[in-house]
Amino acid sequence: MSELKIYNTLTREKEIFKPLNAPHVGMYVCGPTLYSHAHLGNCRTFLSFDVVFRYLKHLDYKVRYVRNITDVGHLESDGDEGEDKIAKRARLEKLEPMEIVQLYAVDFHKVLDDFNLLPPSIEPTASGHIIEQIEMTKKIIDNGWAYEVDGTIWFDVEKFAATYPYTELSGRKLDELLEGTRENLEGQNEKRGRLDFALWKKAKPEHIMRWPSPWGEGFPGWHIECSAMSSKYLGEQFDIHGGGMDLAPTHHTNEIAQNVACCKKSPAKTWIHTNMLTVNGQKMSKSLDNSFLPEQLFTGNHPLLETGYSPMVVRFFMLQAHYRSTLDFSNTALQASEKGYQRLMNAMKLIAGLKTSEKSSVKIETLKTDIYNALNDDFNTPVAIASLFEGARIINSINDGSDTITAADKEQLQKLFSDIVFDVLGLKEETGAGSDKVEGLMNLILELRKDVRTKKDFAASDKIRDELLKVGIQVKDGKDGITWTSN
């Protein structure tokens, strides 16, 4: 099978993945800022890296996956201006900042659990690594890439850019960034350059979250936290750094600058960025009133939703788009994913009961190669799922007697589907109360149909079968009894 290739944002090429310390892999993903409920953009990003994590483990790599939690230092403008997002929410709700963090951390983990995401190996917080951030800042100052102004430490971007390719990750030109910088932002009069960003901010008297430092009481900048934590847990250079594509131009660009300024090494060999979400072709945003929380998606409690969709259906829906492609939410697309997910689950249920023959008329090894080639091509889940649907067709054709399979091929088929569908894609069978009710209702309907067939009322029996087919439920009468599947 082909080698794993990953699209590297840094080089803009698909590169053969070769870990720095095989078989060990270090992966760092920028986690959430916990000042509000987790939104679907977060979920898509973390779900994408969940698949990367799962697949690398499936390939027998020993993966240390670090995903941080930002609980201090992320200001309103995503730069160096405005109020800390968590402190602002704490002030508005009259709570301690760490109460806000705990409240939304519980919500965040619940949502990811609903989507069946594996927990990371380490989940560090910014507030728990203040010492590491101060020490890294001191090294950057000592190396000549940062300066102090009245208790705030600024990173000298233009000085750095004169020696190192500061904008290589985003591909933008420094002059364009300078032209796009507003002159009247808070703190601009303190800086030597308009693009300079804070490694450490002096705390104003009203600022709640503050720590002692060599430069007075203050708090860390947003970018330094990830540099400090990734270095601590993964070393000065590691294999994969990821996040949403919106982080590349500023946050990740500044991370690279900080690491190079501190230890003369770019932190990650490979950078992976996920694309954005849209709703009916428009960017998802609160201002357009087309943004909904995962819980609203599950319950259908939103004007744009015709019904609720289960977490596994939503996960399956997200996997049907490549992580680097825009993902558009619509009722039509979600309903199609619901049918596709049910079709896949129903096919898997049939594998165990397939009758075996001395010869196979199907090529399971070819199917396996197609699936792994897709996943090895930059984690191409939509192509892998298309091959799984071909596998579902094969399963159904064996089940109805059109094709045959040997015992060895059947065992391989069962393992392939279990490995890919459950272990790599992270899907699972829905086992909630709704599923139990459907199962119970179908058992009752089939029992009633059995009664009318016993009474030789075949017209009524056929009507039950045909009406069920209209709503996507196929009933089959076989030697071993009546079975049903949902399309």
Q: Last residue of some domain: 214, 241, 274? A: 274
- H-state helical runs in 300-330: 311-319
Q: Tell me the CATH number at 245.
A: 3.40.50.620
Instruction: In the chain, count H helices and then E strands.
Output: 16, 15
* Same domain flag for 304 and 261: no
pLDDT of residue 2: 81
Residue 350 domain flag: yes
**Total domains, the chain:** 3
Residue (of 380, 357, 360, 356) closest to 370 by Cα position = 380
Instruction: Give, for all 487 residues of the chain, the pLDDT tens digit.
Output: 689 999 999 999 999 999 999 999 999 999 998 888 888 888 999 999 999 999 999 999 999 999 999 988 676 555 566 677 888 888 888 888 889 889 999 999 999 999 999 999 999 999 999 999 999 999 999 999 999 999 999 999 999 999 999 999 999 888 878 776 655 455 556 789 999 999 999 998 888 889 999 999 999 999 999 999 999 999 999 999 999 999 999 999 999 999 999 999 999 999 999 999 998 888 877 667 777 889 999 999 988 899 999 999 999 999 999 999 999 999 999 999 999 999 999 999 999 999 999 999 999 999 999 999 999 999 999 999 999 999 999 999 999 999 999 999 999 999 999 999 999 999 999 865 445 456 667 777 887 887 878 888 888 888 888 888 766 677 777 654 566 666 5
- Residue showing tokens 């102090």: 148
pLDDT of residue 264: 95
* Same domain flag for 91 and 130: yes
Element (DSSP H or E) covering residue 271: strand 268-274
- Cα first-last separation, the chain: 32
* Same domain flag for 67 and 168: yes
* Same domain flag for 205 and 148: yes
* Same domain flag for 479 and 409: no
pLDDT of residue 471: 67
Residue 166 domain flag: yes
Q: Last residue of some domain: 259, 274, 289? A: 274
Residue 87 domain flag: yes
* Same domain flag for 291 and 145: no
* Same domain flag for 42 and 174: yes
Q: What would the two tokens of residue 450 be?
A: 């059995």
Q: Last residue of some domain: 246, 274, 302? A: 274
Q: What is the Rg, in whole angstroms, of the alpha carbon atoms belonging to the chain?
A: 27
Nearest 5°: CA angle at 161, between 156 and 163? 110
* Same domain flag for 134 and 234: yes
pLDDT of residue 184: 46
User: How many Å apart are CA 466 and CA 70, to the nearest integer?
Assistant: 55
Q: What would the two tokens of residue 273 be?
A: 């960025």
* Same domain flag for 116 and 252: yes
Residue 3 domain flag: no
Residue 1 domain flag: no
* Same domain flag for 198 and 332: no
Residue 213 domain flag: yes
* Same domain flag for 265 and 299: no
pLDDT of residue 231: 98
Residue 6 domain flag: no
User: Would you say 377 and 2 are in contact if contact means Cβ atoms under 8 Å apart?
Assistant: yes
pLDDT of residue 98: 87
pLDDT of residue 117: 98
User: Would you say 333 and 297 are in contact if contact means Cβ atoms under 8 Å apart?
Assistant: no
Residue 390 structural domain: 278-424
* Same domain flag for 144 and 245: yes
Residue 231 domain flag: yes
**DSSP-based three-state secondary structure for 256:** helix
Cis, bond preceding 32 (omega within 30 deg of 0): no
